[in-house]
Amino acid sequence: MDFVLTIASIFNVIAQTTNDSGVMNWLTEKYVAGGIFMHPILASLIIGLGFCFERLWTLTRAKTNTKKFIVDVKKALNNGGIEAAKKICENTRGPVASVFYAGLLRYNEGLDAAEKAISAYGGIEMGFLERGLIWISTFITLAPMLGFTGTVQGMIEAFDAIKEAAQISPAIVADGIAIALLTTLFGLVVAMVLQVFYNYFVSRIDRLVGDMEQTSIELIDALYEMKSPKK
């Protein structure tokens, strides 16, 4: 109960600092009315958004102008060789630059070694990009399940109230039904919010992986051209 009052007081403070205090007051009332299962649903939202913001920051930093980058690398290879291309990679952030650098490090061991390094580090970078998505997916699944569990609890309370009163009336079952509906509603809303973030991250990662694969092929072609005897 103290936790409920604490959350309610937080909502009240937020409501006082916003123009639309009616919305915040409504949320506060519904949160308190939803019962104990509203706490883990709120926790799922907060923790899930924490992972979402971390992935958003990471994927934003991973973004690279791949067309300009591959042009710069090829130019460096032609003018200054492998060392010049490695410096370009060192001064560029993002998974594409890391994969390129790994391949260039193995160039002296042969083109096959460079190609294998590019493939291996590409898989590592892909895993890094996808890190944390499993937790977002977990909370997407968990939030509505908690909501449905709250629904079951609310219906049990409604039937217990009917049993104690030995009669059926809207006033008797109102609290239990309110818990049942509110937990389901908030659980589904949390899942939908996190699902939007999840789908966005998957699409961003797919584009980054596509860029890595395309530019890696161009780098390997450029290395083969360097290795081939010039006519």
Tens digit of pLDDT per residue, the chain (231 long)? 444 444 445 445 444 544 455 666 766 676 676 678 888 888 999 999 999 999 999 888 888 788 888 888 888 888 888 888 888 888 888 888 888 888 888 888 877 888 888 888 888 888 888 888 999 999 999 999 998 888 787 777 766 766 676 666 565 556 666 667 788 888 999 999 999 999 999 999 988 888 888 888 888 887 777 766 554
d(CA 202, CA 88): 28
- Please state the pTM of the whole predicted model: 0.76
Give me the helices (H) in 18-132, please: 21-33, 38-62, 66-90, 95-105, 111-130
d(CA 3, CA 101): 52
